[in-house]
Chains A and B, each alone.
Chain A
Amino acid sequence: METFVFLVGAAVILAGALGVVLSASATRAALSLIGTLFGIAVLFVAQEAHFLAAVQVIVYAGAIVVLFLFVLMLLGVDTTEDLSIEPITAQRPAAIVAGLAFFGMVMLALSAGADSVTGMPGAFDPVAGTVPDIVALGRSIFTTHVFALEATALLLTIAVVGAVVLVRKAETIDPDDDISPQLQDASTEDGEEA
């Protein structure tokens, strides 16, 4: 049963990944990315990491790719890109090298198996205990790592407030500044109408 789920999930992930790399339209690439993220979520469920699967779909597929799509739509990058131009020289060979290095790293981590270098549980070891993953995760986040959690929350709040402050217009327009007389007239007229 698990093999079957894995095969279907892996097929979806690979198809999505190929779609991301091979489709010339940026929107379709983003859509393929959703497919990949969904497949990964299915594999998470198969590994009994239910919460991780939910977060994968809600945060990555549901929020981040939506943001990608919004940016694509607002910038109007809906046409096919010309792939023959290489804006940064030698980025393609570099990408191949980086990809192979990453692949090697993942294979190394997997082949290390149970006896890992860092002393942490290896890739094939089950996580100790039979507590449901949501309970275990909640306990870990809100006891051991509560300071990191609060710090992250504060950081995100600061980022949001900062973004709002940055995009705000200047408080008031000083009439003595170098606004042309026509513009000033137009603004007063608008004000009276409003």
Chain B
Amino acid sequence: MLGDPLLSGGIGLEEVLIVLVKAGVAFGVMLLAVILMIWFERKVISDLQNRVGPNQAGPFGLLQTIADGIKLIFKEDLIPNRADRWVFALAPFLLLVPAFVSFGIVPLGGDFQDNGGVVSWFGRDTYLQLADPPIGILVLLAMSSIGVYGMMLAGWSSGSKYPLLGSVRASAQAISYEAALGLSLVSVIIVSGSLSTHDIVASQAGEGFFGFVPNWNLLLTGVVPFVIFLLAAAAELNRAPFDLVEAEQELVGGFHTEYSSIRFGHFYLAEYMNLITMSAIMVTLFLGGPAGPIFGPGFLHPVLPVVWFFLKVMLFLFAAVWARATVPRFRYDQLMGLGWKVLIPLSLGWLLLLATVRVGDDQGWNYLVVVAVCMGVLVGAAALMAAALSSAHKDRIAEEVS
């Protein structure tokens, strides 16, 4: 836990300027990524639906998002009569700023195999990430809990009923799934032994089983936390199939129904920023971050990790678009049932299993016996819970019929 080598030798004007430039570059990268992501999503969805998609603005329609952005800026900015103006203006930023801040903790590159993730540019050693706070991944949880305000206040301050319904849905969904998200995160923290994102990536460097299987948390935590995190993240992001927040048939457009012009643009931007950030976080936590084979001439060495990172993030982004184009939306009770009755108990149980295996490792217990006993207990608990759920369900049916 050494922290960024850039800041280890005291903080002067030069360091402050470097950090500011890093923040500016990170913001630029994020904006560019959002612009390309929106284009990518529209193109892929068009392909999946047998359409052409945007093809007029620029080559392959690449400039479509910029055209849409300019259009949004020049549209009339409407504020409903009954809106709380101050909160109405504040809400988009409460969503936008956390979305960017949590991107700051993601290591985007650096050779973790030989170099400990340190890159040397212009004579200064630094990490290829905006910040590496000791609390690392907790920043993500803190920021996603701040993002709830953005959704809640946007709906409430509009002074209109559909946005309010949408915001109640959105905040209930975000709060419910944050528990499962946090619990599957703890599994990663237990295995990696650190909260810092840089250390989590560093702990996944190196050879895994048999010399060719990667030493990634995806395998070390036993895949289950990854699946839970993926589902919870999709729900947290209000992505399909969990996009009940903006179910057009029921709610018009969700919590941002009353927003127009660039204020709506902010929500749109925040949504895609969150999507990219979450994908990057998943790569960091489970897929070894920028880890990958490094070969070729010397000038390729700092570039290749960034390429691997980009490809892994693209995997998640494509999966998100794919799910949106193919999976039908959940019903609200199904959503809550999945979150509270399946994901949270499962992630809790899996966390206990991982913790027990760790303790067994320290105490020198027989690995197979520990796993067998844990699995037995877990299956027993699952059976008890299933029995309780089914009897509760029967009671409810009986109550409704009587």
Contact = CB atoms under 8 A, between A and B. Distances in A.
Interface in B232-254: none
A34 B149 contact: yes
Nearest to B178: A62
Contacts of A54: 135, 138-139, 141-142
Given A54-B139, A66-B148, 5 more contacts: A63-B145, A73-B152, A78-B84, A171-B395, A172-B399
Contact of A191 (B141, B142, B400): B400
A18 interface: no
B12 to A, nearest CB: 9
B18 interface: no
A20 to B, nearest CB: 15
A26 to B, nearest CB: 11
A12 interface: no
B17 interface: no
Nearest to B12: A1
Contacts of A6: none
Contacts of A27: 84, 87, 153, 156
A61 B402 CA distance: 45
Contact of B146 (A53, A61, A133, A171): A61
B66 to A, nearest CB: 33
Interface of B: 1, 11, 84, 86-87, 90, 133-135, 138-139, 141-142, 145-146, 148-149, 152-153, 156, 171, 175, 195, 395, 398-402
Contact of A50 (B135, B153, B156): B135
B1 A31 contact: no
B146 A31 contact: no
14 contacts: A1-B11, A28-B86, A53-B135, A54-B135, A58-B145, A63-B145, A69-B149, A69-B152, A69-B156, A132-B134, A133-B134, A169-B399, A190-B400, A194-B401
Contact of B156 (A57, A61, A73): A73
B50 to A, nearest CB: 41
A2 B169 CA distance: 42
A78 B171 CA distance: 19
Given A58-B141, A194-B400, A31 B90 contact: yes
A161 interface: no
B13 to A, nearest CB: 10
A57 B142 contact: yes
Contacts of B134: 50-51, 132-134
A173 interface: yes
B402 A191 contact: yes
Contacts of B171: 66, 70
A154 to B, nearest CB: 16
B146 A62 contact: yes
Interface string A64-105: 001001100100001000000000000000000000000000
Contacts of B1: 132
Contacts of A31: 87, 90, 153
A133 B195 CA distance: 12
Interface string A113-150: 00000000000000000001110000000000000000
Interface of B is mostly: helix
A79 to B, nearest CB: 11
A172 B398 contact: yes
Nearest to B137: A54
A77 B142 CA distance: 27
A45 B142 CA distance: 14
A185 B267 CA distance: 49
A54 B102 CA distance: 13
B145 A61 contact: yes
B149 A66 contact: yes
B264 to A, nearest CB: 21
B148 to A, nearest CB: 6
Contacts of A28: 86-87
Contacts of A58: 138, 141-142, 145
Nearest to B1: A132
A63 B401 CA distance: 38
Contacts of A132: 1, 134
A18 B103 CA distance: 32
A116 B171 CA distance: 46
Given A54-B142, A58-B142, A191 B401 contact: yes
A45 B134 CA distance: 10
Contacts of B90: 31
Contacts of A190: 400
Contacts of A53: 135
A18 to B, nearest CB: 15
Closest 4 CB pairs of A and B: A62-B145, A54-B138, A57-B142, A54-B135
Contacts of A191: 400-402
Nearest to B194: A134
Contacts of B395: 171
Nearest to A52: B135
Contacts of A172: 398-399, 402
A66 B175 contact: yes
A32 B230 CA distance: 34
A31 B88 CA distance: 12
Interface string A17-33: 00000000101100100
